[in-house]
Amino acid sequence: MIEVNGKQLDFVENETVKQLLSRMKYTFPLVVVKINDKVVPRNDFSEIVIPDNSKISVIHMISGG
C-alpha cells in the first residue's frame, strides 16, 4: 500500500511519479511532490519509481500572492 494525500492506494510495482499522478487523475500543471518528506524535482517525475509503503504528498501550486 501507499498513501497519497492521506488516501490509501494499492502499491503498483515500478510505478513512476508521473504514472501515479495520472492514476490519481491529477491534471494540475504545477505540483510539488514529496515522497516520504523528500521533494521530487519535476524533471524526475518520469524516472523516479514509488517505493512500497511510501507516504506521498501532492500539492497543487496556484497562482496568486
Partner 1 sequence: MNVEKAEKIRMILQKASVGIAGIGGLGSNAAISFARAGIKRFVIVDFDKVEESNLNRQYYFRDQIGLKKVQALKENIERIDESIKVDFFDHRLTPGSMDKPFHDVDVIIEALDNAETKTVFIEEIMKKLPDKPLVACSGVSGYGNSERITTKHLGNLHMVYDEKALSSDDDVLMAPRVTLMANWQANIVLEILLGEDK
Tell me which of 11, 32, 46, 51 binds partner 1, using CB under 8 A.
32
Query: Under the criterion CB under 8 A, does residue 31 sit at the interface with partner 1?
Result: yes
What is the full DSSP assignment across the chain? -EEETTEEE---TT-BHHHHHHHTT---S-EEEEETTEEEPGGGTTTPBPPTT-EEEEEE-----
Tell me which of 3, 11, 41, 46 binds partner 1, using CB under 8 A.
41
By C-beta, is 13 or 64 nearer to partner 1? 64
Which residues are at the interface with partner 1 (CB under 8 A)?
29-32, 34, 37-39, 41-42, 57, 59-65
